[in-house]
Structure 1
């Protein structure tokens, strides 16, 4: 696996490392190296060497630095000169760039390949509102789903992920899961959100580059799923707020086989047997119905997490609910 070093003036590198962990999960062979006000170039170079020495593979190293020509860049460049056939440096580090690098490491084995791949993500992550402030060509995308709309092609949706997440389309979904399953469309399936103009607009604006986001009521999604004339080549990621909507979708004929359970918010009357999942009795009953319908459960927040056992979680939730009575 390619090792990644985040290098910056001050604690910026530490902060972006933490942000990346929140969105994409814990990462191996990634180090943050900081140049503090009391330190000089030699101190930073020593830190860079220590970080490289900690990697499993020291032949493939990617440096993400904050500023071209700054001390972190200059010191990384001094080390780079002896390894330019394998190592790479990218300046202008931002969070979209880092997340793209994490995803790329799953399939790419060279620092050069990843460096070239993440440049567009770093550029496309810089946006502005109001949109009219952007240059005329700034809206062009080259993300994973760009050029793959295939609208009107005969065929049905391919469902690459169906996820229960109270937060719907947020950072972990728009980055980690999107990079893993590579959808062309993200579809929020919810009657409540479809009626809420503000939430609907926020979701459609939060879609990652090159991927279209939509919000539709459950019954409308059932109709779309039965359309085998217009969605050929479309890779759909379905997002549900709760298991009740999933059950409606499945009973309505949407051919789902696995449900990714990522987040269920706590509220009055619910128990929380895991950090991110809260249940009332109706939730437990619905999951049991989904299981009887033949669905599998993939319980994890981000792709790198280990899968939790849904049967054990439901059993614990049932026991905790009994204690409340």
Structure 2
């Protein structure tokens, strides 16, 4: 695996590394190196060398630095000269660049190949609202991905996910990169009636992917007769397991459901950091399991799957305890 060193002035490298982990999961062979006011160039160089020494493969290293010509870049560039046949440096670090680098490591084994690939994503991540302020050459509509997968007249369901946050960073980047949808469909009666939330969701779609918000009954109709979207790769997002159950009972042919996050509210218990349940939630998930639907508990694709039955047992015990009090 290509090792990645994130280098910056001040604590920027540490912060963006943390942000990347929140969105794409913890990463192997990634180190952040920061230039502090008390340090000199030689001190920074030593820290860079120490970071590279921790990597399993020290022949393939990608450096992501904050500023071209700054001290972090200059010290990285000095090390680069002895390895320029394989190492690579990209300056102008931003979060889209870092996430794309993480995703690229899943299929690319060369630091220089990844470096060339992530530049466009880094540029595309710089946007402005109102859109009229965007430079004309950058305001051209991004090309839409071609519909692939599935048979004419039917969706290919690449992911169905329960996530109270719906379309956010982990979905727009990590899950979209690994499932490659052409459509992201938020299935929610409540959101379908909220024009502001609908607009924000459609604007949050990754480049080349179209986002929709539909009520549950409309999703059921599309699943049965999707001639307008046949052949598309669909990623479905649900706020609650109850919405999933209603969709499945209506005829949406899901085989598995990824459980990402469920927000805490009054009357719910929280057996882990991201999932909160009441009795209805537990009963609903058990019914989905009884219908043969696999429950995959993961925040991001690189996480190991948690055991949903064990999580629900813990939640049930907490609910029962609360009843007795």
Classify the TM-score, shorter chain: over 0.9
* Partner SS, residue 161 of structure 2: strand
The whole-number CA distance in structure 2 between the counterparts of 1:87 and 1:103 is 18
* Partner SS, residue 245 of structure 1: helix
TM-score by length of 1: 0.95
Other-structure match for 1:246: 244
How many residues are treated as equivalent by the alignment?
Answer: 321
The whole-number CA distance in structure 2 between the counterparts of 1:11 and 1:148 is 41
Write the mapping of 1:168-187 to structure 2, written as runs, cut at 5 A.
168-187=166-185
* Partner SS, residue 75 of structure 2: helix
The whole-number CA distance in structure 1 between the counterparts of 2:31 and 2:308 is 34
Q: Deviations over 1:28-48 (max 9, x none)?
A: 100111111121211111111
The whole-number CA distance in structure 1 between the counterparts of 2:144 and 2:112 is 23
TM-score by length of 2: 0.95
- Please report how far the alpha carbon of residue 141 of structure 1 lies from its aligned counterpart in structure 2 after TM superposition: 6.3
Q: 1:165 aligns with which of 163, 166, 177?
A: 163
Write the mapping of 1:282-301 to structure 2, written as runs, cut at 5 A.
282-301=280-299
Other-structure match for 1:281: 279
The whole-number CA distance in structure 1 between the counterparts of 2:236 and 2:139 is 25
Q: Deviations over 1:5-52 (max 9, x none)?
A: 001111111110111111111111001111111212111111111111
The whole-number CA distance in structure 1 between the counterparts of 2:233 and 2:276 is 30
Other-structure match for 1:63: 63
Other-structure match for 2:101: 101
- Please report how far the alpha carbon of residue 155 of structure 1 lies from its aligned counterpart in structure 2 after TM superposition: 2.9
Moved over 4 A (4+): none
Change (3 A) 1:24 1:283: same
Write the mapping of 1:210-221 to structure 2, written as runs, cut at 5 A.
210-221=208-219
- Please report how far the alpha carbon of residue 139 of structure 1 lies from its aligned counterpart in structure 2 after TM superposition: 3.5
Other-structure match for 2:255: 257
Are 1:112 and 2:112 an aligned pair?
A: yes
Q: Check the 8 A contact 1:191/1:216 in 2, yes or no.
A: yes
Write the mapping of 1:197-208 to structure 2, written as runs, cut at 5 A.
197-208=195-206
Q: Deviations over 1:227-285 (max 9, x none)?
A: 25333431111000000000011011111000000101111111111211111111111
Other-structure match for 1:6: 6
Q: Check the 8 A contact 2:145/2:209 in 1, yes or no.
A: no
- Please report how far the alpha carbon of residue 297 of structure 1 lies from its aligned counterpart in structure 2 after TM superposition: 0.5
The whole-number CA distance in structure 1 between the counterparts of 2:166 and 2:254 is 18
Other-structure match for 1:78: 78
The whole-number CA distance in structure 1 between the counterparts of 2:9 and 2:3 is 20
Are 1:132 and 2:135 an aligned pair?
A: no
* Partner SS, residue 55 of structure 1: coil
The whole-number CA distance in structure 2 between the counterparts of 1:68 and 1:100 is 20
Q: Deviations over 1:183-239 (max 9, x none)?
A: 111110000000011111111111111111111101101111122533343111100
Are 1:314 and 2:292 an aligned pair?
A: no
